């Protein structure tokens, strides 16, 4: 059951909060090209019959593999097999997930899924596999294929262990595109009510900027798409502190001719400290992303997959209550990671990628 976010009369079973000025960026008369129009976020409710189908399907997959495998190589195989089962058992769900993978949508929130741990693990891998091949870095969240995100009181700022607000960002902006996470998938296990995860499609933000000031928006695109910026490597990847990339653009054109974004807002700086125009455009982009974001609560039984290339995400402050979210990293192909690291995966070292992207003079 797919719901169109652009129809304000449609209800959704997902706890969605819309941005305050939400109608402005759906105006199809604003120039900007086909890529800036259309429904970018899908909502999919799994009904009781499909839920039962999914449970049986996951049980069958577990039987075939002799239970849940601990080896990530086997888990990846399980995910690939489970995806095939999913395709024949719940084709409408797979068809929507493939839209996120292939760029006709940017994000999808699925609700009504079975919650039992082993069943949920299988479905996590099966659905993740629909939006990309699954991998992780050895230094991130214990190098597990399904990463367990649990906040810690001493978790610092702007990372997955931080209980405070996690500001707007892309994951792995510092890493070369072919080895960077393309699609992030989250599965809810525990989530305090009201703690939302936000997603902002870049195309909506660009459209909003064009509607505010067309000439300035064109200039912003020029400024943001040249290498006038640098990103700091996130500490959560195990790369160490204070490592910045070589000069990079924030916005670039992907191979499918869609705009893509690399923007950890708290870890991005202009190459020149006196580049006031670069800073101004960066701030405008951030304001626009904040204005167009959609919000979902990744509660138990829900799955949220979104493109890390075509949008940015953030998370509310976790004020009280336990939280546990499972996460997978998806990429169109492991080939780039294999080429750049010399490893077969699905768990890769981060060090070769840091060496490749780091600015020697940073």
What are the two backbone dihedrals, phi and then psi, of residue 125, each rounded to the nearest 5 degrees? -70, -40
CA distance 341 to 138: 12
Q: What angle do CA 273, 265, 166 make, to 5 degrees?
A: 140
Q: Which one of 140-148, 166-174, 216-224, 328-336 is the stretch in contact with Fe ion (CB under 5 A)?
A: 166-174
CB of 260 to Fe ion, least distance (A): 16
Q: Which one of 87-95, 99-107, 170-178, 227-235 is the stretch in contact with Fe ion (CB under 5 A)?
A: 170-178
171 in contact with Fe ion (CB under 5 A): yes
- Pick between residue 171 and residue 260 the one whose CB is nearest to Fe ion: 171
Q: Are 49 and 95 in contact (CB under 8 A)?
A: no
CB of 233 to Fe ion, least distance (A): 14
A 10 A CB-CB count for 251 gives 22
- Pick between residue 236 and residue 245 the one whose CB is nearest to Fe ion: 236
- Pick between residue 236 and residue 270 the one whose CB is nearest to Fe ion: 236
Beta 229-231 vs 197-201: how paired, if at all? unpaired
What binding mask, one character per residue, do residues 228-257 give for Fe ion by CB under 5 A, x or -?
------------------------------
Q: Are 40 and 107 in contact (CB under 8 A)?
A: yes
Whose structure tokens read 């601990």?
Answer: 70
Residue 221: strand, helix, or coil: helix
CB of 171 to Fe ion, least distance (A): 4
DSSP string, 321-342: S--EEEEEEEES-SHHHHHHHS
Residue 181: strand, helix, or coil: coil
- Pick between residue 133 and residue 171 the one whose CB is nearest to Fe ion: 171
CB of 288 to Fe ion, least distance (A): 19
Q: Which residue is nearest to Fe ion (CB)?
A: 171
CA distance 5 to 41: 7
172 in contact with Fe ion (CB under 5 A): no
A 10 A CB-CB count for 351 gives 15
Q: Which one of 12-20, 100-108, 118-126, 171-179 is the stretch in contact with Fe ion (CB under 5 A)?
A: 171-179
CA distance 308 to 301: 22
CB of 236 to Fe ion, least distance (A): 9
CA distance 321 to 196: 13
- Pick between residue 112 and residue 234 the one whose CB is nearest to Fe ion: 234
Give the count of residues interacting with Fe ion (CB under 5 A). Answer: 1
CB of 311 to Fe ion, least distance (A): 11
- Pick between residue 96 and residue 171 the one whose CB is nearest to Fe ion: 171
CB of 159 to Fe ion, least distance (A): 9
CB of 137 to Fe ion, least distance (A): 14
Q: Which one of 48-56, 70-78, 167-175, 351-359 is the stretch in contact with Fe ion (CB under 5 A)?
A: 167-175
Q: Which one of 43-51, 79-87, 163-171, 199-207 is the stretch in contact with Fe ion (CB under 5 A)?
A: 163-171
Q: Which one of 91-99, 103-111, 168-176, 203-211 is the stretch in contact with Fe ion (CB under 5 A)?
A: 168-176
Q: Is the peptide bond before 345 cis (omega within 30 degrees of 0)?
A: no
> Count of alpha carbons within 13 Å of 340, Cβ hemisphere only?
22
Residues in touch with Fe ion (CB under 5 A): 171
């Amino acid at each position: 059951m797919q719901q169109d976010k652009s129809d304000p009369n449609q209800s959704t079973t997902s706890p969605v909060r819309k941005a305050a000025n939400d109608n402005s960026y759906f105006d199809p008369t604003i120039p900007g090209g086909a890529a800036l129009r259309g429904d970018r976020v899908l909502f999919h409710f799994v009904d009781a019959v499909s839920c039962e189908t999914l449970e049986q399907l996951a049980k069958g997959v577990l039987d075939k593999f002799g239970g849940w495998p601990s080896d990530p190589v086997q888990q990846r195989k399980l995910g690939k097999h489970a995806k095939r089962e999913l395709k024949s058992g719940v084709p409408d769900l797979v068809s929507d997930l493939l839209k996120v993978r292939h760029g006709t949508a940017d994000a999808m929130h699925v609700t009504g899924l079975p919650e039992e741990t082993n069943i949920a693990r299988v479905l996590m891998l099966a659905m993740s596999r629909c939006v990309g091949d699954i991998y992780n870095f050895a230094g991130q969240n214990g190098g597990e294929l399904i990463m367990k995100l649990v906040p810690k009181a001493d978790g610092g700022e702007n990372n997955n262990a931080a209980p405070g607000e996690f500001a707007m960002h892309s994951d792995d902006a510092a890493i070369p595109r072919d080895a960077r996470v393309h699609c992030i998938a989250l599965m809810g296990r525990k989530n305090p009510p009201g703690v939302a995860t936000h997603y902002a499609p870049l195309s909506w933000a660009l459209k909003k900027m064009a509607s505010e000031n067309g000439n300035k928006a064109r200039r912003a695109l020029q400024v943001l798409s040249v290498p006038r910026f640098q990103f700091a490597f996130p500490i959560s990847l195990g790369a160490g502190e204070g490592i910045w990339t070589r000069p990079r653009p924030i916005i670039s054109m992907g191979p499918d001719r869609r705009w893509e974004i690399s923007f950890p807002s708290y870890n991005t700086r202009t190459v020149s400290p006196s580049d006031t125009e670069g800073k101004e455009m960066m701030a405008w982009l951030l304001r626009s992303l904040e204005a167009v974001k959609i919000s979902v609560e990744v509660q138990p039984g829900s799955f949220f997959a979104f493109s890390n290339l075509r949008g940015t995400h953030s998370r509310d402050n976790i004020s009280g209550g336990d939280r546990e979210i499972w996460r997978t990293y998806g990429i169109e192909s492991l080939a780039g990671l294999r080429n750049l690291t010399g490893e077969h995966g699905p768990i890769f070292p981060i060090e070769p990628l840091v060496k490749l992207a780091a600015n020697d003079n940073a």
